[in-house]
Amino acid sequence: MIDQIRRAYAIAKKDVRIYYLKGPVIIFGILSPAFLFLAFMIGRDLPVDFLIAGLLGMTIFFTSTSVTPVIAPTETQTRNLERLAAAPISVTTILFGDMLASVLFGIVISLVPILLGMALGVTIVHPFILALGIVLAAFCFSAMGLIFSSTPTSMTSTVMMLSTMVKFPLVFISGIFIPVQELPSWGQALASLSPLTYITELCRYSFQGACHYPVMVDIGALLVFLIVFMVIAIKLHERSLPKRL
């Protein structure tokens, strides 16, 4: 067990060195939430803490799902995956290492909207809940990214197109632009199916002291999504790995 954790850590360090400055990571991880936030903010008189909570939720979502989809197709193309497959290491360990790199990226970049909010006078009412929510969401969204990367292809553009088709609709049904309680009943039903809804709710609770769902429901939902995404990702990658070699 300890050996597998060390190997996962070594994979994470390799991913950090290689993939952090890749074009898809920068475009889909940093620029996309920034432009969406600006388009939403301009011309609207909204509380700063409401805006920062939405920006933080989008930032964690986009950054944590921007690294993991890129790794598997790139390593298939460069043949690095063959070396990993030949090593005494399980698929689960490989995926966990990839996830750790993505989680680190998501957590580090999430500090930017937090610092921006503090500079604008936003107070963090519940810092522990915010920190817990960011970590859980980063793991959850990284596992989601692993599902996208399970497609047996060496083309990162194919994987990023697939992930974009899923991620952008989630942004608009997850209560970022309109609070969940103000959505119609069908909108609230859709929002409950999105993991992004629950980290957005935790961010609002941390900044504003109130949210639509109970805090424990938000935390529990992120844990459930994390487990489900990780199980699906492992099963899919176990099937697709032989097709990549």
- Residues 24-33 have pLDDT tens digits of 566 666 677 7
Record the tokens describing residue 244, joined without a space. Answer: 């990549």
Q: Residue 173 has which token pair?
A: 């049904």
CA distances from 73 to 76, 142, 154, 182 (A): 5, 16, 4, 40
| pTM recorded for the entire structure | 0.86
- Gap between the Cα atoms of 101 and 97, Å rounded: 7
50 by Cβ neighbours in 10 Å (0-12 / 13-18 / 19+) ranks as: middle
Q: Which of 34-38, 134-138, 146-150 has the highest mean pLDDT?
A: 134-138
| Residue 33: predicted pLDDT | 74
Give the residue from 209, 38, 63 showing the smallest Cα distance to 141: 63
Count CB-CB contacts under 10 A for residue 210. 10
Which range (35-44, 157-166, 196-205) has the least confidence? 35-44
- Per this entry, what is the length of the chain? 245
pLDDT per residue as tens digits for the range 199-214: 999 999 999 888 888 8
- What's the rounded Cα separation, in Å, for the pair 73 and 77? 6
pLDDT band at 244 (very low <50, low <70, confident <90, very high): low
Q: What would the pLDDT profile of 98-115 be if each residue is shown by its tens digit? A: 888 888 888 888 888 888
Return the pLDDT at 245.
62
Locate 145 and state its tokens: 């990214």
